[in-house]
């Protein structure tokens, strides 16, 4: 990764750290929780070598990007506006947007809202979800998740109380980071640590951090240097910014409401792991996505892979993404 350079951009009223390499049409990468630009370390140079300007953001609240202290500064509107303004700050008018985990819905909805700017979109580990019909009066997204949890705790709900999840995660950053990476990877099943994937639910009264499985040794896709990179970033910033994305989930239906019935017609791409149950990567969601996207050019679940798809299976993900990018010409 010696050819990757770093700089700060002024975008949407904050300072955004980017990692970039190459020249050509812009491909903008958006990471998820609790990561950074570094989650795209295997893809950036390969995409650049294929003739593109590959740029990975530290998203709002992460790494070298501004971490606003107000929970209300982490809505989907803010996050999409960051992505749009990074394209502008780079002097471009169009881009392909790529997202993983939380970055995937930001990528999907950026393309839905700004088809003039985002000529294609690739999502990983979180399928496309079209804007939902209006919820009945008094019913929130949190209430819907509570009903679906059926008496269990659910990590997205657990994250809602300010200071609870973030302080627990901050208490031992290495344990939190490594536990989260391992627990929802494909390795936890291959190693026989779990018999079925963790789907984010756990018994009421227990702590989220106590659900983590810790590896006896690092998975083959994760080095000590990789872990340390994430730990260094999160030790500096804390988990507040990333967790605050979840604390604005109730606003998502309202923010997306002007786009109900709109169709995302740009070329699209999806890849995930078939053991990943953490973020809606279900057969029903995959089928709904197929029905909703008229130009879905690639849709694949990699056998045995978990949630961290571009890190667990870098060669396969990169090859598929490059094929998609070449198809745009």
The residues carrying an active-site annotation are 101, 307
| Residue in 198, 280, 284, 289 with CA at minimum distance from that of residue 32 | 280
List of residues 6+ apart from 60 with CB closer than 8 A: 14, 16, 66, 67, 68, 73, 74, 78, 79, 82, 241
| Residue in 35, 83, 99, 19 with CA at minimum distance from that of residue 241 | 35
- Reported in sequence order, the residue ranges of the chain that DSSP labels E, i.e. its strands, are 5-11, 14-21, 26-30, 53-57, 95-100, 118-124, 153-154, 201-202, 268-273, 296-302
Rounded Cα gap, residues 209 and 202, in angstroms: 11
Residue corresponding to tokens 């990764």: 1
Helix (H) or strand (E) holding 89: helix 76-89
Rounded Cα gap, residues 11 and 13, in angstroms: 5
DSSP 248: T
| Residue in 53, 48, 61 with CA at minimum distance from that of residue 16 | 61
* Number of other CB atoms surrounding residue 163 within 10 Å: 9
C-beta separation of 309 from 35 below 8 A: no
């Amino acid at each position: 990764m010696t050819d990757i350079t770093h700089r700060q951009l002024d975008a949407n009223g904050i300072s955004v750290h980017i990692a970039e390499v190459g020249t050509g049409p812009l491909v903008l990468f958006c990471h998820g929780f609790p990561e950074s630009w570094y989650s795209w370390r295997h893809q950036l140079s390969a995409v650049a070598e294929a003739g593109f300007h590959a740029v990975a953001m530290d998203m709002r609240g992460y790494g070298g990007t501004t971490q606003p202290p107000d929970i209300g500064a982490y809505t989907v509107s803010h996050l999409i506006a960051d992505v749009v303004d990074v394209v502008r700050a780079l002097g471009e008018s169009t881009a392909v947007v790529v997202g993983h985990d939380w970055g995937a819905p930001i990528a999907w909805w950026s393309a839905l809202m700004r088809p003039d700017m985002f000529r294609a979109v690739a999502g990983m580990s979180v399928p496309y979800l079209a804007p939902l019909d209006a919820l009945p009066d008094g019913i929130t997204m949190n209430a819907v998740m509570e009903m679906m949890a059926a008496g269990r705790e659910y990590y997205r709900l657990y994250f809602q109380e300010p200071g609870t999840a973030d302080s627990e995660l901050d208490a031992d950053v290495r344990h939190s980071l490594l536990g989260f990476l391992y627990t929802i990877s494909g390795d936890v099943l291959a190693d026989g640590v779990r018999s079925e994937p963790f789907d984010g639910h756990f018994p009421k009264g227990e702590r989220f951090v106590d659900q983590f499985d810790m590896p006896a040794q690092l998975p083959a896709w994760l080095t000590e240097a990789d872990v340390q990179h994430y730990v260094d970033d999160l030790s500096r910033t804390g988990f507040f910014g990333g967790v605050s994305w979840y604390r604005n989930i109730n606003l998502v239906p309202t923010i997306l409401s002007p786009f109900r019935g709109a169709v995302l017609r740009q070329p699209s791409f999806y890849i995930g792991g078939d053991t990943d149950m953490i973020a809606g990567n279900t057969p029903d969601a995959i089928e709904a996505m197929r029905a909703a996207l008229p130009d879905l050019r690639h849709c694949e679940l990699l056998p045995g892979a978990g949630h961290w798809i571009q890190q667990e299976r870098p060669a396969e993900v990169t090859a598929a993404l490059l094929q998609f990018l070449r198809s745009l010409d």
